[in-house]
Amino acid sequence: MRLTKLGHACVRLEKDGRTLVLDPGAFTEPEALDGADAVLITHEHFDHFVEDRLRRAAEADPALRIWTNGAVADQLTGLGEGRVHRVGHGDAFTVEGFEVEVHGEWHARIHPEIPLVGNVGFLVDGEVFHPGDALTVPEREVGTLLLPVHAPWSKLAEVVDYARAVGAARALALHDVMLSDIGLEGVQRFVGMLAEDVDYRRLTSGESVELG
């Protein structure tokens, strides 16, 4: 399986000629959806989901299917029967040859005065876990954690402890568009020092890695 990072919170997974795209939001290149066979959306925030962009992709390709939580599905009505699938914690499904499990229910708390929204994480082929905007720990082994390294709802100590708790052999930085080059170097240094059992690295947008 080939993983390509495409800006902030989005990755493309390619296997056996099929392509799965996760969280192509506003800080992701629009071409991230080109050639996608299916799309997974963790939650409704604009940096993970842009309704108009996803609608255009779905209208251009009648075969494109979408899996997401209820709040996002409610915004995607009218695309046709069987095209948008609602999923929640504990669900499992197969899409385009990828085996997907759903973990988690809620977005991490940003502030007590900001209402929580739903958030689902996706574990693909038992290898890659995209938690969305949450620190959900799947109740099973994970090979590669897509680690949200910076957000209004997190701090570096929580990021390190989350990487340790998941226990993945590999962690790839995600959710990092708001960090400067100096900030990215700081995260690299501290995660590498404090989560020493994790092979941590950051892919630049468009960079790919082959997974097991």
pLDDT in tens, 146-161: 999 999 999 999 999 9
Nearest residue to 43 via CA among 63, 60, 23: 23
Output the six-digit token pair for 56: 């255009």
In the predicted structure, residue 212 carries a pLDDT above the cut 80: no
> Is residue 62 very low, low, confident or very high in pLDDT (cuts 50, 70, 90)?
very high
In the predicted structure, residue 51 carries a pLDDT above the cut 80: yes
pLDDT in tens, 101-141: 999 999 999 999 999 999 999 999 999 999 999 999 999 99
Instruction: Give me the phi and psi of 188, to 5 degrees please.
Output: -55, -45
In the predicted structure, residue 30 carries a pLDDT above the cut 90: no
> Is residue 35 very low, low, confident or very high in pLDDT (cuts 50, 70, 90)?
very high
pLDDT value of position 192: 85
Domain spans in the chain, listed from the N-terminal domain onward:
2-210
pLDDT value of position 80: 87
Does residue 65 sit in helix, strand or coil? strand
Interval 82-94 mean pLDDT: 97
Quickly tell me which residue has 């501290």 as its tokens. 190
Average pLDDT of every residue of the chain: 95
pTM of the entire structure? Answer: 0.95
Quickly tell me which residue has 């502030």 as its tokens. 111
Least confidently predicted of 74-88, 92-106, 148-162, 185-199? 185-199
> Is residue 11 very low, low, confident or very high in pLDDT (cuts 50, 70, 90)?
very high
**Tally of residues, the chain:** 212
Quickly tell me which residue has 């996760």 as its tokens. 22
The proportion of the chain whose per-residue pLDDT surpasses 90, expressed as a percent, equals 93
Residue 81: C-alpha distances to residues 62, 66, 97 (Å): 11, 12, 21
What span, in angstroms and rounded, lies between the C-alpha atoms of 202 and 191? 11
DSSP symbols for 71-109: HHHHHTTTS-TTSEEE--TT-EEEETTEEEEEE--BPPP
Which residues fall within 8 angstroms of residue 54, CB to CB, at 6 or more apart?
24, 33, 39, 41, 66, 76
Say if strands 144-148 and 11-15 run parallel, antiparallel, or are unpaired. Answer: unpaired
Interval 185-205 mean pLDDT: 91
CATH fold group of domain 2-210: Metallo-beta-lactamase; Chain A (3.60.15)
Nearest residue to 8 via CA among 156, 210, 153, 146: 146
pLDDT value of position 96: 95
Interval 41-68 mean pLDDT: 97
pLDDT value of position 145: 98
